[in-house]
Amino acid sequence: MHPELFLLIGISCSLGFTPGPNNAVASFSGFNYGIKKTIPLILGVWLGYTNLVILINFVLISTFLKYPAIQEVIRLLGTFFLLYLAYKISFSAPSKEGKEINPVKFIDTFIFQFLNPKGVMAAITLISNFIIENDYLNSSFTVIIVCSLTALTSITTWAFFGKFLRKFATNNNFIKRFNYVMSLLLIVCIIGFYI
């Protein structure tokens, strides 16, 4: 599975590192609250996405393929959750790092993985293309490990990107504008789900 492994890693990274709802929220959190207070968010995305991939791989893949309407329901629920997150981000008060509690919690990001249309579609795509029937367990564990590591590294990278941008925040107006841009990015992600 060596050539397939490199392809799996490449596709997984391209899906994980491109802008999306998780990455926008991680940048917002790293920017506004620092890395230490973003760790619960990082863990929520990582563990939530890993559990999503495991669940789809061993239980739901045939259900999703048989009943595509379920994916539409996930997209609608994900849309409402993203609107809620965009609202929280847009109207969060600018803070000095370390003084306020991050409004995005572990449970928010953990649960969102099961409603995130981009994440669900990525998991379905990777599982349906890289699971080999006659080597089901080995190929399943390979896909799960690659997806899990990609989720952890991509979400952490975006959090550090937000933290890096904080160096350029010279006043509260800049911070408010950054938060509005992150909210807008979430809205763009929603629009992208329907195009």
Other beta carbons within 10 Å of 130: 20
d(CA 168, CA 61): 44
- The residue range of the domain holding 181 is 2-194
SS3 19: coil
What is the pLDDT tens value at each position of the chain, 195 positions in all?
556 888 889 889 988 898 888 998 999 999 989 999 999 999 999 999 999 999 988 887 777 767 778 877 887 887 888 788 788 777 766 555 445 677 788 998 999 999 888 888 888 888 888 888 788 889 899 999 999 999 999 999 999 999 998 888 777 788 788 888 888 887 887 777 676
pTM (2 d.p.):
0.81
The total of structural domains in the chain comes to 1
